[in-house]
């Protein structure tokens, strides 16, 4: 414990002295509770999910593939957090959520909602562009009680089967971010089911409304492997990073660290995806 405590204490002091507030953001596809997963089933993985959360101590978490019972389990293992999100199939509790968890001692939620990645984004359960599944975006407007910084967090999970759906989802997402957040700072987390040089990711990171990949903004060398999808059993492929954290209209926010987390025990991982974390510094008032 001593080896961990001293660097954390130094990190806190350094950021306090520099006039910055450190914030850790995570995106994590936790794999839905699939009854046929056997040894990789949710109940067996939940302790590992809890442990990686305790190890990383994220302040904000964008999660994907969360069923209602998993959201309830996560609330129990994350008692210091509040969350926002709905089931994608009915806008209530049915189907996967893309919830946003945030540390309640640090942040106050001012607004929040969900829209659907479709031609009628306000209609729960709607689907377009040959998507295999209904897909959603959850967003919240947070007030940082410490730095007094107000910003938006968007979290999503793009379709895995339809290239057209992913491309159209990226376009819609940019439009909705501008409509909802205006010129405020934005953090976007998600599983985009496409890699760095794909059309959807290039769409999100180009043009006048572009977001920036935190991987490229980090002031320190990115940590971890060059993949974020690993599968069950573990069989990653080089370059298979499909989980990203983006920033827009940073407003003085800087990225000090980017890491893909490989935490596991006895060859068992918390999910078929690896969590991606960034450490941000918010300017103090």
pLDDT in tens, 196-219: 999 999 999 999 999 999 999 999
Say what the pLDDT of residue 18 is: 46
Check: CB of residue 89 under 8 Å from CB of residue 134: yes
Q: Which residues does residue 235 pair with via DSSP β-bridges, in sequence order?
A: none
Q: Please give the average per-residue pLDDT across 222-231, as a whole number.
A: 97
Check: CB of residue 195 under 8 Å from CB of residue 31: no
Give residue-wise pLDDT tens across range 100-138: 999 999 999 999 999 999 999 999 999 999 999 999 999
What total of structural domains would you count in the chain? 1
Q: 44 in helix, strand or coil?
A: helix
Q: Is the pLDDT of residue 5 over 80?
A: no
CA 22-269-47 angle, 5° bins:
75
Give residue 86's domain range: 2-283
Check: CB of residue 159 under 8 Å from CB of residue 133: yes
The 10 Å Cβ neighbour count of residue 217 is 18
Sign of CA dihedral 118, 121, 123, 125: positive
Stated pTM of the model: 0.93
Q: Is the pLDDT of residue 6 over 90?
A: no
Check: CB of residue 129 under 8 Å from CB of residue 149: no
b/e 24-44 (16+ beta carbons within 10 angstroms → b): bbbbbbbbbbeeebeebebee
Check: CB of residue 131 under 8 Å from CB of residue 170: no
DSSP class of residue 227 equals -
Q: Which residues does residue 247 pair with via DSSP β-bridges, in sequence order?
A: 187, 212
Q: How far is the C-alpha of 278 from the C-alpha of 285, rounded, in Å?
A: 22
Say what the pLDDT of residue 251 is: 85
Tokens of 148: 């007094």
Q: Is the pLDDT of residue 4 over 90?
A: no
Give residue-wise pLDDT tens across range 234-276: 999 999 999 999 999 998 899 999 999 999 999 999 999 999 9
Q: 120 in helix, strand or coil?
A: coil
Q: How far is the C-alpha of 218 from the C-alpha of 215, rounded, in Å?
A: 6
Q: Is the pLDDT of residue 159 over 70?
A: yes
Say what the pLDDT of residue 2 is: 36
Q: Which residues does residue 258 pair with via DSSP β-bridges, in sequence order?
A: 278
CATH number for position 71:
3.60.10.10
Helix pair 42-56, 68-77: axis angle to 10 deg: 40
Strands (E), 30-184: 60-64, 81-84, 100-103, 107-116, 136-144, 150-157
Say what the pLDDT of residue 19 is: 57
Q: 25 in helix, strand or coil?
A: strand
Say what the pLDDT of residue 16 is: 42
């Amino acid at each position: 414990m001593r080896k961990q405590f001293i660097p954390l204490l130094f990190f806190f002091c350094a950021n306090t002295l520099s006039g910055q507030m450190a914030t850790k953001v995570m995106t994590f596809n936790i794999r839905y509770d699939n009854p046929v997963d056997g040894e990789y089933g949710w109940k067996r993985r939940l302790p590992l999910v809890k442990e990686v959360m305790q190890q990383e101590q994220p302040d904000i978490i964008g999660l994907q593939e969360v069923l209602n019972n998993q959201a309830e389990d996560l609330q129990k293992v994350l008692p210091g957090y509040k969350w926002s999100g709905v089931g994608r199939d009915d806008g209530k509790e049915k189907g996967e959520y893309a919830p946003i968890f945030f540390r309640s001692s640090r942040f106050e939620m001012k607004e929040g909602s969900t829209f659907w990645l479709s031609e009628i984004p306000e209609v729960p359960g709607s689907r377009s562009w040959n998507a295999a599944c209904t897909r959603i975006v959850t967003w919240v407007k947070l007030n940082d009680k410490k730095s007094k910084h107000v910003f938006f967090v968007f979290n999503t999970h793009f379709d895995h089967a339809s290239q057209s759906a992913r491309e159209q989802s990226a376009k819609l997402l940019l439009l909705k971010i501008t409509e909802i957040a205006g010129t405020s700072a934005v953090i976007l987390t998600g599983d985009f089911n496409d890699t760095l040089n794909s059309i959807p990711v290039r769409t999100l990171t180009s043009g006048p409304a572009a977001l920036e990949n935190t991987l490229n903004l980090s002031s320190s060398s990115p940590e971890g492997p060059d993949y974020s999808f690993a599968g069950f059993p573990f069989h990653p492929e080089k370059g298979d990073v499909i989980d990203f954290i983006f920033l827009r209209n940073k407003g003085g926010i800087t990225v000090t660290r980017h890491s893909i987390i490989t935490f596991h025990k006895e060859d068992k991982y918390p999910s078929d995806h690896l969590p991606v974390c960034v450490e941000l510094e918010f300017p103090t008032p």
